[in-house]
């Protein structure tokens, strides 16, 4: 889709950069800046900072979201912003200017002559908006207009058009200078940090509410000689069916709102599908052992079309399981054991508000032969105090936002926790060891996820997060190939301990918009690495990170530390490197590297490295995990969320 304006020509951008640099050099030259301003580009050609995938799915047309694009003097890409407020929040950020350079020009989409109207607050148009210089546009603020992410300022090229919109839909008209003085609430990873305690409390309440299902009166007590399916079908709604010790024939279906309580009882399926299928709301299952599960991990008849997401939606959520809840809200599963499965342990499909607690699932020894411990498809849940070993993924979430996963143990799989299209979730207080790909991985552009207080050991990647506005804090990553990958943009990484990894932290995002501070880097072969892109500044104002080796006994005063530098990056490995690091030649190179755009790509700088570890308790835990193994982390909780 083409928008107004021609695509950027590299030669024009280069001239624009040169003009700014010359003007900055003591004003020695007078240049016609307007003659060198680059034209706007098609928005799909920008490096955009956008919505979560769930928000984007709710947008019928990109014309319904006001956008901005900014050309920076020392960055080869044009940065695109969904929402004018997002651009205003970022454009004057000193850290952003240090990374990208001076903002040459900003364009915004204007809605004159587009037939703009509001449908429940969402913008609808007959024509695509045009690009206009931000400083010549007029903005309607505090109107009824909004996007899936919240209220939004609406730009117009003509002041009267803006006034007419404000008369029709409310709001105030202002210019660019006044707009930049406003304070807007935008997505912020610090907000996610503030929500963690609320998410924990909400999960506590959800668990407490679910526990009430165990208080139902007993309607019958069964032995293995009874017809289990017939008894379940005839049991009164809202009652409890008790299974005495022994083995019961399955598979079974629960079609009424019941509680099934087992005392050392096993239900064995026929290995041709799910052993227990839940089709009713508010079903509770306590203490059951489930065996005889089919080995189909997906239904080939359900996967239609060539679209990747269609196959995930229709195929992944249709496999066999020990317990499969389909279209059944409010399911409560506790003290359930799945001794072995080559498919799912528990499947939740279109079954929101589930609580899974104190569950044990053992998958196939080779993850290629197994599937998921818990598969949740469009099913927000609380999953806690459980153990998942072997198999493909311990927990796999697909479009299951607002899920809380806490205090679980994951061992020997492909991924421990794997999130797809899932936002606003909390992953807390879990332990992970020996995963082939990653302990925690978050994919497909989600937003506002929190990953806190986890311990990940001996995996290919410890924690790998994509998307935006996430909060990754207080985690311990030890003995991994890569401890933490900082792929998420506009996110906050703080108070993590990254120790004894081959590569401590790596950043692969072209948009270097995350904040990284107060972390401890100890005993890694390489503390940090970066792909091509702008200079990454890892600090929050004067608060940087602790880098083992950044301070020397002969250099008590701090100086900026570059973990990606060939000399600085080895200071923790050999005292010889201190001499080289402080040589006049290396100082000159460091100064040049920090000021010349061509030498900044692929580098990380901490302008305020800390002289002592910032997280001594977590560093002590990391040392114990290195010495004793992951069991040291499993035993770290003085309290749990056990029900």
pLDDT tens-place string over residues 468-486: 889 999 999 999 999 999 8
User: What's the average model confidence in pLDDT over 601-617?
Assistant: 90
Examine residue 317 and state whether it is found in any structural domain, yes or no: no
Examine residue 427 and state whether it is found in any structural domain, yes or no: no
CB atoms within 10 A of CB 258: 24
The mean-pLDDT minimum among 423-427, 433-437, 585-589 falls in 585-589
What separation in angstroms does the CA of 422 have from each of 113, 323, 347?
37, 22, 17
Query: Does pLDDT of 89 surpass 90?
Result: no
Residue 135's beta-bridge partner residues?
none
Q: Please state, in angstroms and rounded to a whole number, the distance separating the CA atoms of residues 174 and 138.
A: 6
- How do residues 224-266 score in pLDDT, each as one tens digit? 999 999 999 999 999 999 999 999 999 999 999 999 999 999 9
SS3 247: strand
Q: Please state, in angstroms and rounded to a whole number, the distance separating the CA atoms of residues 352 and 376.
A: 9
Which span out of 245-254, 485-494, 577-586 was modeled with the highest average pLDDT?
245-254
Residue 622 or 570, more confident: 622
Of all residues in the chain, what percent are helix, strand and coil, respectively (each to 5)?
Answer: 25, 35, 45
Domain, as residue range, for 82: 10-186
Examine residue 84 and state whether it is found in any structural domain, yes or no: yes
Query: What is the percent of the chain where pLDDT is above 90?
Result: 64
Q: Is residue 135 within a helix (H) or strand (E), and if so which, with residue range? A: none
CB atoms within 10 A of CB 594: 16
Looking from the CA of 133 toward its CB, the CA atoms found within 13 Å total: 10
User: What's the average model confidence in pLDDT over 293-305?
Assistant: 78
CB atoms within 10 A of CB 482: 23
Examine residue 123 and state whether it is found in any structural domain, yes or no: yes
User: What's the average model confidence in pLDDT over 446-467?
Assistant: 95
Q: Please state, in angstroms and rounded to a whole number, the distance separating the CA atoms of residues 348 and 329.
A: 9
Query: Does pLDDT of 24 surpass 60?
Result: no
User: What's the average model confidence in pLDDT over 124-133?
Assistant: 94
Query: Does pLDDT of 427 surpass 60?
Result: yes
Query: Does pLDDT of 49 surpass 60?
Result: yes
Q: Is residue 146 within a helix (H) or strand (E), and if so which, with residue range? A: strand 146-147
Q: Please state, in angstroms and rounded to a whole number, the distance separating the CA atoms of residues 577 and 570.
A: 7
Query: Does pLDDT of 313 surpass 80?
Result: no
Residue 2 or 227, more confident: 227
**Token pair of 463, please?**
């924690």
Query: What is the percent of the chain where pLDDT is above 70?
Result: 84
Query: Does pLDDT of 136 surpass 70?
Result: yes
Closest CA to 391 of 333, 423, 434: 434
Query: Does pLDDT of 487 surpass 90?
Result: no
The mean-pLDDT minimum among 19-33, 466-480, 584-598 falls in 19-33
Query: Does pLDDT of 18 surpass 70?
Result: no
| Band of residue 54 on the pLDDT scale cut at 50, 70, 90 | low
The mean-pLDDT minimum among 159-173, 586-600, 604-618 falls in 586-600
Residue 558's pLDDT is what?
66
| Band of residue 596 on the pLDDT scale cut at 50, 70, 90 | very low
**Token pair of 589, please?**
């190179």
Query: Does pLDDT of 601 surpass 80?
Result: no
| Band of residue 552 on the pLDDT scale cut at 50, 70, 90 | low
| Band of residue 90 on the pLDDT scale cut at 50, 70, 90 | confident
Residue 307's pLDDT is what?
64
Residue whose entry in the numeric block shows the structure tokens 């409890």: 240
Residue 643's pLDDT is what?
43
Examine residue 110 and state whether it is found in any structural domain, yes or no: yes
Examine residue 557 and state whether it is found in any structural domain, yes or no: no
The mean-pLDDT minimum among 33-37, 84-88, 474-478 falls in 33-37
Q: Please state, in angstroms and rounded to a whole number, the distance separating the CA atoms of residues 441 and 314.
A: 22
| Number of domains the chain contains | 1
Query: Does pLDDT of 591 surpass 50?
Result: yes
User: What's the average model confidence in pLDDT over 217-225?
Assistant: 97
Query: Does pLDDT of 317 surpass 90?
Result: no
Query: Does pLDDT of 162 surpass 70?
Result: yes
Examine residue 152 and state whether it is found in any structural domain, yes or no: yes
Query: Does pLDDT of 275 surpass 70?
Result: yes
**Would you say 187 and 490 are in contact if contact means Cβ atoms under 8 Å apart?**
yes
Query: Does pLDDT of 7 surpass 80?
Result: no
User: What's the average model confidence in pLDDT over 12-23?
Assistant: 32
- How do residues 319-351 score in pLDDT, each as one tens digit? 999 999 999 999 999 999 999 999 999 999 999
Query: Does pLDDT of 74 surpass 60?
Result: yes
Considering the chain, what is the average pLDDT of its residues? 86
Eight-state DSSP code of residue 530? E
Q: Please state, in angstroms and rounded to a whole number, the distance separating the CA atoms of residues 472 and 189.
A: 9
The mean-pLDDT minimum among 184-198, 455-469, 620-634 falls in 184-198
Looking from the CA of 583 toward its CB, the CA atoms found within 13 Å total: 11
Examine residue 432 and state whether it is found in any structural domain, yes or no: no
CB atoms within 10 A of CB 336: 24
- How do residues 359-403 score in pLDDT, each as one tens digit? 999 999 999 999 999 999 999 999 999 999 999 999 999 999 999
Residue whose entry in the numeric block shows the structure tokens 């598979």: 251
Query: Does pLDDT of 12 surpass 70?
Result: no
């Amino acid at each position: 889709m083409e928008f107004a304006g021609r695509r950027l020509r590299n030669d024009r951008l280069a001239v624009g950069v040169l003009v700014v640099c010359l003007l900055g050099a003591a004003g020695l030259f007078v240049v016609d800046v307007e003659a060198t301003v680059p034209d706007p580009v098609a928005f799909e050609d920008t490096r955009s900072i956008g919505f979560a995938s769930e928000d984007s799915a709710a947008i019928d047309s990109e014309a319904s979201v006001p956008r901005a694009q900014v050309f920076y003097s020392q960055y080869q890409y044009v940065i695109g912003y969904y929402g004018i407020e997002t651009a205003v929040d970022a454009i004057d950020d000193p850290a952003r200017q240090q990374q990208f350079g001076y903002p040459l020009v900003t364009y915004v989409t204007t809605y004159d002559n587009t037939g703009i109207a509001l449908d429940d607050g969402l913008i609808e148009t007959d024509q695509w908006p045009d690009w206009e210089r931000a400083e010549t546009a007029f903005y309607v603020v505090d109107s009824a207009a909004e996007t899936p992410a919240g209220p939004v300022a609406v730009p117009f090229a003509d002041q009267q058009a803006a006034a007419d919109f404000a008369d029709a839909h409310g709001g105030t008209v202002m210019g660019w200078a006044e707009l930049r003085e406003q304070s807007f609430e935008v997505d912020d990873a610090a907000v996610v940090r503030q929500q963690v305690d609320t998410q924990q409390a909400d999960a506590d309440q959800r668990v407490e509410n679910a526990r009430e299902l165990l208080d139902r009166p007993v309607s019958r007590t069964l032995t293995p000689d009874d017809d289990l399916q017939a008894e379940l079908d005839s049991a009164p709604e809202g009652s409890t069916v008790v299974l005495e010790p022994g083995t019961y024939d399955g598979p079974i279906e629960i079609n009424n709102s019941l509680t099934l309580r087992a005392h050392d009882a096993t239900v064995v399926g026929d290995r041709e599908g799910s052993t227990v299928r839940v089709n009713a709301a508010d079903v509770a299952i306590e203490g059951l052992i489930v065996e005889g599960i089919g080995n189909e991990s997906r239904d080939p008849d359900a996967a239609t079309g060539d679209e990747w997401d269609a196959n995930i939606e229709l195929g992944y959520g249709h496999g066999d399981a020990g317990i499969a809840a389909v279209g059944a809200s409010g399911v409560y599963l506790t003290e359930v054991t799945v001794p072995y499965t080559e498919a799912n342990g528990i499947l939740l499909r279109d079954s929101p508000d589930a609580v899974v607690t104190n569950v044990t699932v053992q998958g196939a020894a080779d993850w290629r032969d197994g599937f998921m411990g818990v598969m949740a498809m469009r099913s927000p849940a609380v999953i806690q105090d459980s153990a998942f070993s072997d198999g493909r993924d311990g927990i796999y979430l697909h479009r299951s936002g607002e899920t809380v996963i806490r205090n679980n143990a994951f061992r020997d799989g492909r991924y421990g926790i794997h999130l797809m299209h899932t936002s606003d979730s909390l992953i807390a207080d879990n332990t992970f060891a020996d995963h082939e790909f990653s302990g925690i991985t978050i994919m497909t552009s989600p937003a506002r996820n929190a990953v806190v207080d986890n311990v990940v050991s001996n995996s290919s990647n410890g924690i790998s997060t994509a998307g935006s506005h996430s909060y990754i804090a207080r985690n311990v990553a030890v003995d991994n190939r890569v401890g933490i990958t900082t792929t998420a943009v506009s996110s906050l990484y703080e108070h993590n301990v990254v120790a004894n990894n081959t590569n401590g932290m790596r950043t692969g995002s072209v948009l270097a918009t995350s904040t990284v501070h107060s972390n401890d880097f100890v005993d890694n072969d390489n503390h940090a690495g970066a792909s091509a892109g702008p200079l990454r500044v890892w600090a929050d104002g004067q608060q940087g990170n602790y880098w083992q080796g950044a301070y020397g006994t002969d250099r008590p005063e701090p100086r900026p530390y570059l973990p990606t530098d060939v000399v600085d990056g080895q200071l923790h490995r050999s005292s010889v490197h201190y001499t080289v690091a402080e040589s006049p030649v290396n100082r000159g190179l460091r100064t040049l590297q920090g000021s010349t755009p061509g030498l900044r790509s692929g580098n990380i700088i901490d302008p305020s490295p800390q002289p002592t570890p910032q997280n001594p308790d977590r560093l002590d835990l990391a040392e114990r995990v290195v010495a004793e193994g992951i069991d040291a982390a499993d035993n770290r909780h003085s309290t749990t969320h056990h029900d």
